[in-house]
Amino acid sequence: MRIGELAARAGTTTRTLRYYESRGLLPARREGNGYRSYDESDLRLLRQIRTLQDFGFDLEETRPFVECLRAGHPEGDSCPASLAVYRRKLAELDGLISQLTGVRQLARAELAAEAEAPGGPEPRCELGGRTW
């Protein structure tokens, strides 16, 4: 299939596909007339990239998953490098959850203090040295 058909089937744009090609994530096969040519395996790569990006992975973090699929594995997350990216992403999310839990606890304490002393100071949220 040509680039326009692949873009339509993947729900993206030809510009995005050219960008992925320039980043080495999507192989660039050319026909005799110079047109780009793709097959179902390329669509699978694109779906893997798009799914991971929908889950918050940046483009470079998708590379191990794409390479795993290119190596012939049935799933992009069945290789050690892919699993390492999952572990890093989970650690990052755990850190964010911890921060947000702290904010929630602070907000609850501020609201409880306000309930005890009506008309007191406005609740404040302090996070990372900033006050809102």
Please give the pLDDT value at position 96: 92
Q: Decide if pLDDT at 129 tops 70.
A: no
Q: Please answer whether residues 13 and 7 qualify as being in contact, where contact means their C-beta atoms are separated by less than 8 angstroms.
A: yes
pLDDT at position 26 over 70 = yes
| Stretch 18-39: mean pLDDT | 92
Predicted pLDDT of residue 103 = 86
Specify which residues 130 forms β-bridges with.
127
Of the pLDDT bands very low, low, confident and very high (cuts 50, 70, 90), residue 57 is very high
Are 82 and 49 in contact by the 8 Å Cβ rule? The answer is: no
DSSP assignment of 4-37 equals HHHHHHHTS-HHHHHHHHHTTSS--EE-TTS-EE
Decide: pTM greater than 0.85.
no
**% of the chain exceeding 90 in pLDDT:** 68
User: Per-residue pLDDT for 20 more than 80?
Assistant: yes
